[in-house]
Structure 1
């Protein structure tokens, strides 16, 4: 499971708020979490675009947002250790950013149709490749517990189920050994797996909003919440 827990807000490519400054019951008790965040407003302005129109962004906010988007999309160039630049230097030396490069231009306007197409297409391609090879959960392919068993549990038994499965036939080889790759799904072997994984760019995937959509999780959650109430308040 992936828990999205970002501590970053970049507004209009002009203002950056980073860190943790939650206002909730747990944070205000005085004996739980410590909260700190910083708001960064850079006076250096640059020409940019927003929704297809000219826009005045600030250098720090724009470069940070573009760098992060390029990382998610797989658009960052490799660092050549034989040709060190400012990005090899320790804290205190500003990083270099390749303004105007082809990769930079691809993420200049986060609300343009071209960018949104690139973003969504990359997320879809990456998601399909990961699902094809690794059967990750949560997944939009899993809408109920029956589909969960067909997609995941029957291949990767865990806990008590795993022990019972091993006890049935100790000599029977596992359907997977490493990395949640089911061998029978790839008759072409490792080469076929690599072909699928080679389509992945960056780290971007779709959020599985339909996972277990057909199940009533609230009923099961009531007892869980009662047991964990002290931890979260």
Structure 2
């Protein structure tokens, strides 16, 4: 789970959005773009990594002064589970800058499963528990993936949401934001679509601005500072 956009001021493609664009660039480089990215590394080991990975985000909507609005839900907590044995959870970023111990480090818990469990009494639980395997394809594809896909389609149909996989470059972005969304042109119809939302889960757009070099130019302060500031 990732935030749909970094938590920086400014608009993508606008002069004041260089910091947002810089962090977005490093996010995609780490995740899916370039030979050193997570997904490209996995492709060298398995044919289709996306059969095993789902990258999701959170989005919501509300009405303000009679107008339908949407906003991303910023995911701040970091969670990493390694081999079903180690769990790191907290607000610290999972990178060297936040966890090296000599920079802007934060404290977060590390839980380790040692494989030692107390003796369990064999008696039925007080409540009936019906827990299907969440790793099964029926859940991963048929429930989790299907909900994320449908919610994404609804938000894109009702609002001019950013980011979205439909926009591959800045020209497409400019045309997109100039359109009047359904939420403004026919709000009654928009509300009908929004009733079909299930929770807040949406897909993270891996192809957003994929034909654009998102690295800020040297004319901006973000283009001058060392890359270590962002990594």
What TM-score do you get using the length of structure 1 for normalisation?
A: 0.51
Higher RCO (Cα < 8 Å, 6 or more apart): 2
Q: Would you say 1:99 and 2:137 are equivalent positions?
A: no
Q: Would you say 1:196 and 2:193 are equivalent positions?
A: yes
Instruction: Identify the residue that residue 224 of structure 2 maps to in structure 1.
Output: 226
What's the offset of the Cα at 1:231? 4.8
Instruction: Identify the residue that residue 77 of structure 1 maps to in structure 2.
Output: none
Q: Would you say 1:136 and 2:155 are equivalent positions?
A: no
Instruction: Identify the residue that residue 109 of structure 2 maps to in structure 1.
Output: 37
C-alpha contact (below 8 Å) 1:9/1:17 kept by paired residues: yes
Q: Would you say 1:2 and 2:25 are equivalent positions?
A: no
Task: Select 2:89's aligned residue among 18, 25, 49.
Answer: 18
What's the offset of the Cα at 1:202? 1.4
Q: Mapping of 1:28-107 within 5 angstroms?
A: 28=100, 30-41=102-113, 43=117, 99-100=129-130, 104-105=131-132
Give the whole-Å Cα distance in 2 for the aligned partners of 1:128 and 1:45: 49
What TM-score do you get using the length of structure 2 for normalisation?
A: 0.51
What's the offset of the Cα at 1:211? 0.5
Give the whole-Å Cα distance in 2 for the aligned partners of 1:13 and 1:26: 23
Give the whole-Å Cα distance in 1 for the aligned partners of 2:109 and 2:183: 44
Aligned length: 151
Q: Mapping of 1:160-171 within 5 angstroms?
A: none
C-alpha contact (below 8 Å) 2:97/2:103 kept by paired residues: no
Give the whole-Å Cα distance in 2 for the aligned partners of 1:144 and 1:137: 13
Instruction: Identify the residue that residue 162 of structure 1 maps to in structure 2.
Output: none
1:45-104 C-alpha deviation (Å, 9 max, x unpaired): 99xxxxxxxxxxxxxxxxxxxxxxxxxxxxxxxxxxxxxxxxxxxxxxxxx98721xxx4
C-alpha contact (below 8 Å) 1:133/1:193 kept by paired residues: yes
What's the offset of the Cα at 1:143? 0.7
1:134-168 C-alpha deviation (Å, 9 max, x unpaired): 2111110111111101111x15xxxxxxxxxxxxx
CA distance change for structure 1 residues 11 and 33 in 2, over 3 Å: closer, same or farther? Answer: closer
* SS class of match (1:36): coil
Query: Structure 1 stretches of 5 or more lacking a match?
Result: 47-95, 156-174
* SS class of match (1:8): strand
Give the whole-Å Cα distance in 2 for the aligned partners of 1:9 and 1:217: 27
Give the whole-Å Cα distance in 2 for the aligned partners of 1:97 and 1:2: 41
Q: Which structure has the larger Rg?
A: 1
* SS class of match (1:150): helix
1:87-124 C-alpha deviation (Å, 9 max, x unpaired): xxxxxxxxx98721xxx43xx23143443222211111
Q: Answer with 216-225 or 28-37: which moved more.
A: 216-225
Query: Structure 2 stretches of 5 or more lacking a match?
Result: 7-74, 121-125
